[in-house]
Amino acid sequence: MDRRDFLKRSLLTGGLVFAGARRIDARPANQHRSSSPRIVISRDHGLRTPTGSMDSDRLLAMLDRGMQASFDVDTPVEAWKRVVHPDEVVGLKINCLSGLGNSTNVELVDAICDRLEAAGIPMSNIVVWDRLNEDLEKAGFPVRYRGGGIRYMGNDVLGFDRELSTYGTAASLLCRTLTELCDCVINIPVLKDHGIAGVTVALKNMFGAIHNPNKYHLDVGDPFIADVNMLWAIRQKTRLVVCDATTAQYEGGPSFLPHWTWSYNGLIIGRDPVALDTVGWGLIEEKRAQQGMPALSEVDREPTYIATAADADHRLGSNDSSLIEVIEI
């Protein structure tokens, strides 16, 4: 039995195992992403029911359209099979910071889990996770990590590695949910403004995988956010971003302030987190302009870390709008 299987079996049988110390180093920046990344924006203006709740059938159809367009395939299951393999434990990194107001929607996670199961992933091999059990509960998710079925857990269940992972300005303990339990990760952030970093979408959502995110908010998070995303498990295991843009926020984030949100009724899907953040940033700037608000650069919150994530030292993706293929469906 290997290390991960031992940990997984311990969770299922009710015991928590803490591994011995080990050295964890950042891997070299040698994983080139496509020079012409594809970002798909899938929207449905009829997504809300008359009561304002989410129509789960329409949300699933919106997800299906987005995945098929992202991978240029005929069925959504075929698209998911391009992302995951049946023998893997798949982590879904959600964002629960805003509670029920503007966190990753439970309905979206349910839809993704349904499609993962159809692609051959057993429900017991899906782990929905974020910073704390308390955060999940406030966002409407159960906390459940023993027994069968999907596991829902915060980093406080398994804790963090004993050795620092490092890259550039980042020196952090990675959560063991990521490093030891999950083989791959689907990043499911929310499209939001951020009062320090400008925007918080795919790249910043991975702050939920480290023990010390409070250290990395100076200078609009630049270069800290890019450096954190270079840490070995984040860089190597994240395969897809499905950004929840059903309700988006253009000011006052990351806390939920309803008067600065709007029903965008969309999902933003892509494999390149830098390209996706570039597109998401543009949507927030567009909405700010519509509302008569200044550009983020005018209030000293331009998210320059996105360009840093694309530079020669990081190569996490492309921020060149002329190269990014944006498909709106």
Domains and CATH numbers, the chain: 3-17+35-328 (3.40.50)
**What is the dihedral sign for C-alpha 64, 66, 69, 70?**
negative
Q: CA-CA distance, 228 to 174, in Å (whole number)? A: 10
Q: CA-CA distance, 71 to 281, in Å (whole number)? A: 23
The pLDDT, as a whole number, for residue 11 is 53
Q: Do residues 184 and 91 make contact, with C-beta atoms less than 8 angstroms apart? A: yes
| Residue carrying structure tokens 């694309």 | 310
Q: CA-CA distance, 238 to 212, in Å (whole number)? A: 20
Q: Do residues 266 and 43 make contact, with C-beta atoms less than 8 angstroms apart? A: yes
The pLDDT, as a whole number, for residue 34 is 57
Q: Which residues contact 235 (CB under 8 A, 6 or more apart)?
A: 26, 27, 31, 229, 316
Reduce the secondary structure of 89-110 to three states and give it as a string: CEEEECCCCCHHHHCCCHHHHH
Residue 124: strand, helix, or coil:
helix
Where do the DSSP E strands lie in 155-304? 165-167, 170-172, 184-187, 190-194, 198-200, 238-249, 261-270
Q: Do residues 130 and 136 make contact, with C-beta atoms less than 8 angstroms apart? A: yes
Q: CA-CA distance, 158 to 16, in Å (whole number)? A: 7
Q: CA-CA distance, 278 to 326, in Å (whole number)? A: 11
User: Which DSSP category does 21 fall into?
Assistant: P
Going residue by residue through the chain (329 aa), what tens digit of pLDDT does each one get? 454 454 544 454 444 433 333 333 333 333 445 568 999 999 999 999 888 889 999 999 999 999 999 999 999 999 999 999 999 999 999 999 999 989 999 999 999 999 999 999 999 999 999 999 999 999 999 999 998 899 999 999 999 999 999 999 999 999 999 999 999 999 999 999 999 999 999 999 999 999 999 999 999 999 999 999 999 999 999 999 999 999 999 999 999 999 999 999 999 999 999 999 999 999 999 999 999 999 999 999 999 999 999 999 999 999 999 999 999 99
Q: CA-CA distance, 218 to 211, in Å (whole number)? A: 17
Q: Do residues 266 and 244 make contact, with C-beta atoms less than 8 angstroms apart? A: no
Q: CA-CA distance, 75 to 45, in Å (whole number)? A: 23
Confidence (pTM): 0.91
Helix axes 56-71, 106-118, angle to 10 degrees: 60
**What is the dihedral sign for C-alpha 69, 71, 74, 77?**
negative
The pLDDT, as a whole number, for residue 16 is 40
Q: CA-CA distance, 203 to 188, in Å (whole number)? A: 11
Q: CA-CA distance, 127 to 142, in Å (whole number)? A: 12
The alpha carbons of the chain give a radius of gyration, in whole angstroms, of 19
Where do the DSSP E strands lie in the chain? 38-43, 90-93, 126-130, 151-154, 165-167, 170-172, 184-187, 190-194, 198-200, 238-249, 261-270, 325-328
**What is the dihedral sign for C-alpha 155, 158, 159, 160?**
negative
